[in-house]
């Protein structure tokens, strides 16, 4: 195993233990609002601290960018860890058992290692650039769907960017009429991991953050899938607008979405 992958897995499992303990006593979880429809709990912060501790033990000079604490600069800025300690906080707060820890490691701007860990199901999705993707210890591949007629597509509503609702609903309607069904589960990190594992055939969402997708997008690519933005380019880490899936499914979703994009989403 890649040495940084070993540490990422260790950190993800440590965060997972923190989350599971708290999930058993949800009445004690402290919830505060960061913004409109954007919440943070003490558990997010504790899980991020557990991850940072594990990383710092082995790589004290690396930079860490966490959803809750922002950028924690190290002397070595070429290595950057991008961390979402609890992707799916709203699910967690409501007692819905669908959320994940997401950790990605970038070297000189390229993602080298990715881990998405579901502590409820003890499912670990991981990838190393050029080495493929794994579900627990088994190699995984995206589905082989060549059209959407019997495909399951995952998505997420733009609940933090409701100015895009009209455009999103047009895209949703077009995709829904083409595919077998749509899933909206509430964790982009797990949606992408599920694409990599072939559990869903494609995924699209508007307005995500780098820590939502940094690990998942490498998992999809290393599992043989493709990842683009809504214009078919590769600016999704900046725009937060992402389409992922088997190569054919991604292509169809892009072709469907592109004519429907507002000017704001064409950038």
Q: Where does residue 224 rank: exposed (0-12), middle (13-18), buried (19+ CB within 10 A)?
A: middle
Task: Note whether 22 and 43 are within 8 A (CB).
Answer: yes
Query: Distance between CA 152 and CA 22 in Å, rounded?
Result: 32
Annotated binding site for Mg(2+): 67, 84, 86-87, 212
SS3 of 182, please? strand
Q: Which two tokens stand for residue 238?
A: 């900046």
Q: Kindly give the residue spans of alpha helices, DSSP state H, lying in the chain.
A: 3-23, 42-58, 89-94, 165-178, 188-196, 210-222, 236-239, 247-257, 263-266
Annotated binding site: 67, 84, 86-87, 212
Query: Distance between CA 195 and CA 223 in Å, rounded?
Result: 9
Give the position of tokens 């809750």. Answer: 68
Nearest to 25 by CA among 95, 118, 98, 97: 95
Task: Note whether 120 and 105 are within 8 A (CB).
Answer: no
Query: Distance between CA 84 and CA 211 in Å, rounded?
Result: 5
């Amino acid at each position: 195993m890649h040495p940084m992958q070993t540490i990422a897995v260790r950190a993800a499992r440590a965060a997972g233990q923190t989350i599971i303990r708290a999930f058993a006593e949800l009445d004690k979880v402290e919830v505060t609002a960061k913004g409109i429809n954007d919440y943070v709990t003490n558990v997010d912060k504790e899980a991020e601290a557990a991850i940072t501790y594990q990383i710092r033990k082995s790589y004290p000079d690396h930079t860490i960018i966490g959803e809750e604490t922002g950028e924690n600069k190290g002397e070595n800025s070429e290595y950057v860890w991008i961390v979402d300690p609890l992707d799916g906080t709203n699910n967690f707060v409501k007692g819905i058992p669908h959320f994940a820890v997401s950790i990605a490691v970038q070297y000189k701007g390229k993602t080298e290692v990715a881990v998405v860990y579901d502590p409820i199901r003890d499912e670990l999705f991981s990838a190393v650039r050029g080495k493929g993707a794994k579900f627990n210890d088994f190699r995984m591949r995206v589905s082989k769907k060549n059209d959407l007629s019997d495909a399951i597509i995952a998505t997420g509503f733009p609940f933090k960017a409701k100015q895009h609702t009209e455009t999103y609903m047009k895209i949703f309607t077009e995709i829904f009429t083409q595919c077998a069904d749509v899933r909206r589960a509430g964790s982009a990190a797990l949606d992408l991991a599920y694409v990599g594992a072939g559990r869903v055939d494609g995924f699209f969402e508007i307005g995500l953050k780098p820590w939502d997708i940094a690990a998942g997008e490498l998992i999809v690519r290393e599992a043989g899938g493709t990842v683009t933005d809504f214009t078919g380019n590769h600016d999704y880490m900046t725009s937060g607008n992402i389409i992922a899936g088997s190569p054919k499914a991604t292509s169809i979703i892009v072709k469907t979405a592109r004519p429907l994009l507002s000017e704001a989403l064409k950038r």
